[in-house]
Amino acid sequence: MNAVARNIEERTLSYSEAIREAMSLAMDADPTVILMGEDIGVYGGAFQVTLDLIDKYGPERVMDTPISELGGAGVAVGAALTGLKPIFEFQFSDFAALAMEQIVNQAAKLRYMLGGEASVPVVFRMPAGSGTGAAAQHSQSLEAWFGHVPGLKVVQPSTPEDAKGLLLAALADPDPVLIFEHKLLYKMKGHVPEGHYTVPIGKAAVRRQGKDLTIVASSIMAHRALEAAERLSVEGMDVEVVDLRSVRPIDRDTILASVRKTGKLMVVYEGVKSYGVGAEISAMVAESDAFDFLDAPILRLGGAEAPVPYNPDLERASVPQVDTIEAAARRLLGGEV
């Protein structure tokens, strides 16, 4: 391998750098792509993802919005209806609760209500998840809320490569897309191809092949599931890990194929266990022919039925960790569930 090829192959970016590169590529290629959000300009965003983009593209395309999520999201939806492609950043995904009217009642429904004559190509970036000590109002995982709404697409990239590719795919989509970016992943580094590419929305990735148990997870939980699977492999337990990547639409075919192969299923997710992504996947499998291949009950491992605590020990205990995933998988593989 020559030096040029090796450098391309080994090119790494952080998760946040990959997102920023995707936005910059899109803005270079398409003047209708604009950025909106609180403090995304000079400050560079709450997590420094937009960093120097205002210097490159100016305040007319990198717009600081007032501290009003309802107003900012409404302007983004309106801009999308007029032919622009806004990327709106919520400082924390929790704050989208203030903009539910615009996301759920407007963005998700206008193409349907207008008979397909208009579309709403807006992307909402949603920093999400626990682990930063930001307490109950800044640490939630709300992807299941929005996955419940027809007209929205909801994705959860777990790697820098997917963070870039899913954002570029979202910008090419005529419908509103919500991208949940786990805050603990922003500094994680990984291989990211150069140039423009997309990762298909609605397509899961099998991150680890296995024959004894399927674990379906996404975002940071995909990484924790992989680590748990590697630990279990030392004892001869062969776990397959499916990275969901997309909550809506969901990759039914990949999940069912894995369950038919392994005969056991565990779903790991950070959101509160009840009424969550795990419930949807469990029901989907139970209603399919893959149910006949199961030789153990489906196990859901989700967040605690409580607000996310501020105390760091309680915060860690409130969501699945590598140790708890390993222990749950061990019980399921040992016939204790």
Q: Give the SS3 label for residue 240.
A: strand
Q: What is the pLDDT of residue 3?
A: 45
In whole angstroms, what is the distance from residue 278 CA to residue 147 CA? Answer: 12
In whole angstroms, what is the distance from residue 131 CA to residue 111 CA? Answer: 37
Looking at the fold, whether 186 and 225 belong to one and the same domain comes out as no
In whole angstroms, what is the distance from residue 156 CA to residue 12 CA? Answer: 20
For the segment 98-107, the average pLDDT, to the nearest whole number, is: 97
Residue 143: CB atoms within 10 A of its CB come to 28
9 confidence band (pLDDT: 50, 70, 90):
low
Looking at the fold, whether 104 and 213 belong to one and the same domain comes out as no
What is each CA distance from 206 to 196, 221, 222, 274, 306, in whole angstroms? 23, 14, 10, 25, 31
Looking at the fold, whether 150 and 245 belong to one and the same domain comes out as no
Residue 196 located in a structural domain:
no
* CATH code of the domain covering residue 282: 3.40.50.920
Residue 141 located in a structural domain:
yes
Q: Is 287 a catalytic residue?
A: no
Looking at the fold, whether 47 and 79 belong to one and the same domain comes out as yes
Looking at the fold, whether 161 and 270 belong to one and the same domain comes out as no
Residue 336 above 90 pLDDT?
Answer: no
Looking at the fold, whether 212 and 314 belong to one and the same domain comes out as yes
Looking at the fold, whether 27 and 95 belong to one and the same domain comes out as yes
Residue 269: CB atoms within 10 A of its CB come to 28
Q: What is the DSSP string of 244-263?
A: --EEES--HHHHHHHHHHHS
Looking at the fold, whether 175 and 297 belong to one and the same domain comes out as no
Q: Is 223 a catalytic residue?
A: no
Look at residues 159, 191, 223 and tell me which one is the last residue of a structural domain. 191
In whole angstroms, what is the distance from residue 172 CA to residue 85 CA? Answer: 9
Q: What is the pLDDT of residue 10?
A: 76
Residue 143 above 60 pLDDT?
Answer: yes
What are the tens digits of pLDDT across the range 46-66?
999 999 999 999 999 999 999
Q: What is the pLDDT of residue 1?
A: 43
In whole angstroms, what is the distance from residue 263 CA to residue 335 CA? Answer: 12
Residue 226 located in a structural domain:
yes
Look at residues 191, 216, 235 and tell me which one is the last residue of a structural domain. 191
Locus of tokens 């995304």: 40
Q: What is the pLDDT of residue 337?
A: 78
In whole angstroms, what is the distance from residue 336 CA to residue 257 CA? Answer: 24
| CA 268 centroid distance within chain | 14
Q: Are 175 and 153 in contact (CB under 8 A)?
A: yes
User: Would you mind telling me the total number of residues written for the chain in this entry?
Assistant: 337
Residue 235 located in a structural domain:
yes
Looking at the fold, whether 55 and 184 belong to one and the same domain comes out as yes
What are the tens digits of pLDDT across the range 236-261?
999 999 999 999 999 999 999 999 99
Residue 198 located in a structural domain:
no
Residue 307 located in a structural domain:
yes
Residue 175 above 80 pLDDT?
Answer: yes
Residue 137 above 70 pLDDT?
Answer: yes
* CATH code of the domain covering residue 124: 3.40.50.970
Q: What is the pLDDT of residue 4?
A: 45
Residue 65 located in a structural domain:
yes
Residue 6 above 70 pLDDT?
Answer: no
For the segment 171-180, the average pLDDT, to the nearest whole number, is: 98
For the segment 25-31, the average pLDDT, to the nearest whole number, is: 98
For the segment 226-233, the average pLDDT, to the nearest whole number, is: 98
Q: Are strands 239-243 and 213-217 parallel, antiparallel or unpaired?
A: parallel
Residue closest to 92 by CA, chosen among 44, 50, 58, 124: 124
Bridge partners for 33 per DSSP: 85
Q: Give me the half-sphere count of Cα atoms (radius 13 Å) on the Cβ side of residue 133.
A: 3
For the segment 264-288, the average pLDDT, to the nearest whole number, is: 97
Residue closest to 222 by CA, chosen among 168, 267, 254, 258: 267
Residue 219 above 70 pLDDT?
Answer: yes
Residue 75: CB atoms within 10 A of its CB come to 18
For the segment 325-333, the average pLDDT, to the nearest whole number, is: 96
Catalytic residue among 17, 38, 69, 161: 69
Domain tally, the chain: 2
Looking at the fold, whether 215 and 246 belong to one and the same domain comes out as yes
Range of the domain at 142: 3-191
Looking at the fold, whether 8 and 145 belong to one and the same domain comes out as yes
Which amino acid is residue 130, in one-letter code?
Answer: S
For the segment 8-31, the average pLDDT, to the nearest whole number, is: 93
Residue closest to 186 by CA, chosen among 246, 247, 271, 127: 127
Q: Are strands 189-191 and 12-14 parallel, antiparallel or unpaired?
A: antiparallel
> What average pLDDT does the structure give for the chain?
96
Q: Is 51 left (phi over 0), alpha (psi -120 to 50) or beta?
A: left
Catalytic residue among 17, 21, 138, 270: 138
Looking at the fold, whether 260 and 218 belong to one and the same domain comes out as yes
Burial class of 157 by CB neighbour count within 10 A (0 to 12, 13 to 18, 19+): buried
Residue 210 located in a structural domain:
yes
In whole angstroms, what is the distance from residue 190 CA to residue 263 CA? Answer: 32
What are the tens digits of pLDDT across the range 148-162?
999 999 999 999 999
> For the chain, what is the radius of gyration of the CA atoms?
20
Look at residues 157, 191, 225 and tell me which one is the last residue of a structural domain. 191
145 confidence band (pLDDT: 50, 70, 90):
very high
